Structure 1
Amino acid sequence: MQLTRFTDYSLRVLIYIGLHQDRLVTISEIAQNYGISQNHLVKVVHKLGIHDYIETVRGKGGGMRLARRPELIIIGKVVRDTEENMDIAECFDPGKQSCSLLPSCILKTALIEACQSFMTTLDFYHLSDFLVKQPALPVFVPLQKMSGKPRTKNVT
């Protein structure tokens, strides 16, 4: 299963805003930090606003903030609200039923269960779960040469 770029950007926007709850955040700031087109983000922000995940403040000094507490934003719901199509195979779309295995295909049942499991897993997570600032990764330090003689392979 692969999420669309739109959903990916939606989750990134929510995480970014959630990590900066002490102030308003702008689209240009998010675009710059994530290397995403502002045009894409305008559409994402609009949709997130329609679904009441964020609220916008217009005018000078305006920006965005979360419309709800992060622990009330369920990731599975965000995905459902931002994905246009959750059909993971052609046979899920009633208009595209050209598969020769239909109507007796049992694979479709397994795919439906897998999709439901995927979404059920996402329903366990809230935005707050992703707002923990991670410590910086340790700097890679190459292993020091062992003191003494170089190791040799024993051959018997």
Structure 2
Amino acid sequence: MRLTRYSDFSLRVLLYLAARGDRLCSISEMASAYGISHNHLMKVLHDLGKAGYVSAARGRMGGFRLARPASEIQVGALLRHTEDDFDLVDCPGCALSAGCGVSPVLDEAMVAFFAVLDGYTLADIIERRHGFHRLILSLAPADRGSAAGLS
């Protein structure tokens, strides 16, 4: 199984914003930090905003921040939102589908996969590894004049 780039970008953006607390971050800043297309991130952030993960402030000093605390954003819920399909194989198109034993095993594995992911929030991921928070913060260009300090 492999997650799409869209899910990868969504998770990266949310981790970036989570590490910055309430500071507004621009699309250009995040695109530069990760080496990701500005246009791709615009699409990702628009979708994450509609889904209630991020909020936006318009204007010259505007940008994006998490819409709710990182401790309330489950990784499993995010991936359910960003991924279209979790079918690991094309069971309906298979000649063995009527009596196959693989499908229930894969379904059980998918339930276990999400059970693990549902046990983690963005805050958990940032705190999980020593130095990870600092690493994410190091990706940022110089502060754009925000009054909020970073720690």
- TM-score, L = length of structure 2: 0.82
Q: 2:131 aligns with which of 130, 135, 140?
A: 135
Measured in 1, the distance between the counterparts of 2:76 and 2:41 equals 20
Output the CA distance in 1 between the equivalents of 2:34 and 2:78: 19
Residue deviations 1:48-76, cap 9 Å, x none? 11111110011110000011011111110
On the 8 A contact 2:22/2:65 being kept in 1, the answer is no
Q: 1:26 to 1:134 in 2, by over 3 A?
A: farther
Please give the per-residue CA displacement for 1:73-104, whole angstroms capped at 9, x wherever unaligned: 1110000011111111111xxxxx22121110
Cα deviation for residue 42 of structure 1 reads 0.8
The aligned runs of 1:1-156 (5 Å cut-off) are 1-91=1-91, 97-132=92-127, 134-135=130-131
Q: Percent identity?
A: 44
SS of 1:103's equivalent in the other structure is coil
Aligned length: 131
Instruction: Identify the structure with bigger relative contact order (alpha carbons < 8 Å, sequence gap 6+).
Output: 2
Gapped runs of 5+ residues in structure 2? Answer: 133-151
**Structure with greater helix share of residues:** 2
Which structure has the bigger radius of gyration?
Answer: 1
Say which SS state the counterpart of residue 65 (structure 1) adopts.
strand
Counterparts of 1:54 and 1:113, CA distance in 2 = 32
Per-residue deviation at 1:22? 4.2
The CA deviation at 1:27 is 0.8
Name structure 1 gaps, 5 residues minimum: 92-96, 137-156
| Residue identity in the other structure for 2:96 | L
Secondary structure, counterpart of 1:131 in structure 2: helix
- The change in CA–CA distance for 1:105 and 1:85 in structure 2 (over 3 A counts) is same
Residue 134 (structure 1) shift = 3.6
Conserved 8 A contact 2:57-2:64: yes
| d(CA) in 1 for partners of 2:130, 2:32 | 21
Question: Which residue identity is paired with 1:114?
Answer: A
Give me the whole-angstrom Cα distance separating, in 2, the residues matched to 1:22 and 1:98.
Answer: 48
Q: Structure 2 CA distance, aligned partners of 1:52 and 1:29?
A: 21
